[in-house]
Structure 1
Amino acid sequence: MTQVIELKGVSKRYDNAGAPALGPLDLTVAQGEALAVTGPSGSGKSTLLNLVAGLDKPTEGTVTVAGQRIDTLGEHALARYRRERVGMVFQFFNLLDDLTVADNIQLPAQLTGTARGKAAARAGELMELLGIQKHARAYPGRLSGGERQRVAVARALVNRPALLLADEPTGALDSASGQDVRRLLVDLHRSGQTIVLVTHDLALAEACASRSVHLVDGHVALDSRTEAVR
């Protein structure tokens, strides 16, 4: 089975005198897998996500994503890696308020050099898939939290990334919008999208993930699989 993520002997220290924030650990995520990373605050969840996203570098070990060793890349190459191979969804959406929904979604594609017409067609496809096509000309500030998170997911998927990273994607939403995003993540996983979800919400992890890794003090305390995503 193809591995989308492969961490070998990875550790991250922010203070040479203290214990590592993460690791050392080995971790693989297979293509099409939906992995939920859970654990208490300070357990290393965000550190793990940042290493996979190329936003931080390990103190020791290697990080390979989609066949590319990313821990040795410079900043320019890492920016390209994030644009082309990774889609990211954040707790607070990070949409540009002065761009329409359609333009927010198209922006990452245009940054990779995709022709405007092709980017617009891909954005239209995603808006229809995610049920937000009626908001194409609207601005994010006029949408509900759940709708804005759908826009953020569409933006993350516009370049057909090998990996979707979601950092507390329901953390800023009310319960109804959270359920909406939960169903969306389930549907994306069923379609074959590889997902790594960082969350404090165990119900979200149980509903969306085919596998869960629970971190404690930077180490994997539990690595479990579920039979099916509901």
Structure 2
Amino acid sequence: MGNVIELRGAVKRYDNADGPALGPLTLTVEEGEAVAVTGPSGSGKSTLLNLVAGLDKPTAGTVTVGGTRIDDLGEGGLARFRRERIGMVFQFFNLLDDLTVLDNIVLPAQLAGTARGKAAARAHELLETLGIDQHARAYPGRLSGGERQRVAVARALINRPALLLADEPTGALDMASGRDVRELLIDLHRGGQTIVLVTHDLDLAESCAGRTVHLVDGHVALDRNSGAGAVR
């Protein structure tokens, strides 16, 4: 298996900060790995996620995802790359309330040029797998937090991304819904999905990821294989 993520000497500086928000950082994530990124607020977790997602560019160094140097891409190329190769799940779902569950899920596929019928078939497949097919015609506001996060996961997976990024995916959920999403992430990883999970929840990190990368002041303070959540 090859590397899905390669950061080589990646640095991110912001104009109003004394030092770099991240790095220099060298980090790789292999295909099929589930990696939890932890650390205190301001440690660089969100900056790292934004670099990997192509939402921000490094000040120095390189960022390669799925064999593509994304720090070399322009805005149009980055947008296409994200649609086709990266799935993202956020703490607050980021669903469009005026679209049905089905329409929320198929939207990224249609933006990537997939025919509506093919996208809808893929969406129903995901909804059934995630146990929420009965909500296909509902609107997000009618669903529980856990159900909305499952819709967000289905939307993230619609284009069969090489990489799933999850930013505090249980942070806005009650305990029961959080357990459901945790089990979902474990199942996705067991199915071979490469996942990078940013979280403050150490229990979530231990249960979902076979490897934990702990950041402090923009640098890796700990990088260890936990064994928990690992696929063998």
TM-score under structure 2 length normalisation:
0.97
Alignment partner, residue 167 of structure 1 = 167
Cα 1:17–1:180, aligned 2, differ >3 Å: closer, same or farther? closer
Alignment partner, residue 4 of structure 1 = 4
What is the identity, as a one-letter code, of the residue corresponding to 2:71?
D
What is the identity, as a one-letter code, of the residue corresponding to 2:40?
P
Cα 1:125–1:17, aligned 2, differ >3 Å: closer, same or farther? closer
1:118-162 Cα distance to aligned partner (Å, 9 max, x none): 001000100000000000000000000000000000000000000
In structure 2, how many angstroms separate the alpha carbons of the residues matched to 1:203 and 1:109? 33
Alignment partner, residue 57 of structure 1 = 57
Alignment partner, residue 206 of structure 1 = 206
In structure 1, how many angstroms separate the alpha carbons of the residues matched to 2:15 and 2:217? 15
Residues 199, 205 of structure 2: 8 Å contact kept? yes
In structure 2, how many angstroms separate the alpha carbons of the residues matched to 1:111 and 1:90? 20
- Does residue 190 (structure 1) correspond to residue 190 (structure 2)? The answer is yes
Alignment partner, residue 97 of structure 2 = 97
In structure 1, how many angstroms separate the alpha carbons of the residues matched to 2:8 and 2:127? 38
Q: Tell me the C-alpha RMSD between the 2 structures.
A: 1.0
Q: Percent identity?
A: 81
1:68-90 Cα distance to aligned partner (Å, 9 max, x none): 00001110000001100000000
Q: Post-superposition shift, 1:226?
A: 2.0
In structure 1, how many angstroms separate the alpha carbons of the residues matched to 2:11 and 2:110? 35
In structure 1, how many angstroms separate the alpha carbons of the residues matched to 2:17 and 2:126? 48
Cα 1:110–1:17, aligned 2, differ >3 Å: closer, same or farther? closer
Residues 208, 228 of structure 2: 8 Å contact kept? no
Alignment partner, residue 181 of structure 1 = 181
In structure 2, how many angstroms separate the alpha carbons of the residues matched to 1:156 and 1:64? 20
In structure 2, how many angstroms separate the alpha carbons of the residues matched to 1:106 and 1:20? 38
- Does residue 66 (structure 1) correspond to residue 66 (structure 2)? The answer is yes
Please identify, of 14-23 and 118-127, the stretch whose mean Cα deviation from structure 2 is larger. Answer: 14-23
In structure 1, how many angstroms separate the alpha carbons of the residues matched to 2:99 and 2:38? 34
What is the identity, as a one-letter code, of the residue corresponding to 1:171?
G
Alignment partner, residue 224 of structure 2 = 224
Structure 1 moving runs of 4+ over 4 Å? none
Alignment partner, residue 43 of structure 1 = 43
In structure 1, how many angstroms separate the alpha carbons of the residues matched to 2:65 and 2:127? 27
Q: Post-superposition shift, 1:103?
A: 0.7
In structure 1, how many angstroms separate the alpha carbons of the residues matched to 2:229 and 2:222? 19
1:52-80 Cα distance to aligned partner (Å, 9 max, x none): 00000000000000010000111000000
Unaligned runs of 5+ in 1: none
1:4-41 Cα distance to aligned partner (Å, 9 max, x none): 00000001000376111000010000000000000000
* Number of aligned residue pairs: 230
Residues 132, 147 of structure 2: 8 Å contact kept? yes
SS at match of 2:222: strand
Alignment partner, residue 13 of structure 2 = 13
Please identify, of 210-219 and 8-17, the stretch whose mean Cα deviation from structure 2 is larger. Answer: 8-17
What is the identity, as a one-letter code, of the residue corresponding to 2:225?
R
Residues 207, 228 of structure 2: 8 Å contact kept? no
In structure 1, how many angstroms separate the alpha carbons of the residues matched to 2:2 and 2:125? 27
SS at match of 1:71: helix
In structure 2, how many angstroms separate the alpha carbons of the residues matched to 1:218 and 1:57? 15
In structure 2, how many angstroms separate the alpha carbons of the residues matched to 1:185 and 1:48? 20
SS at match of 1:214: strand
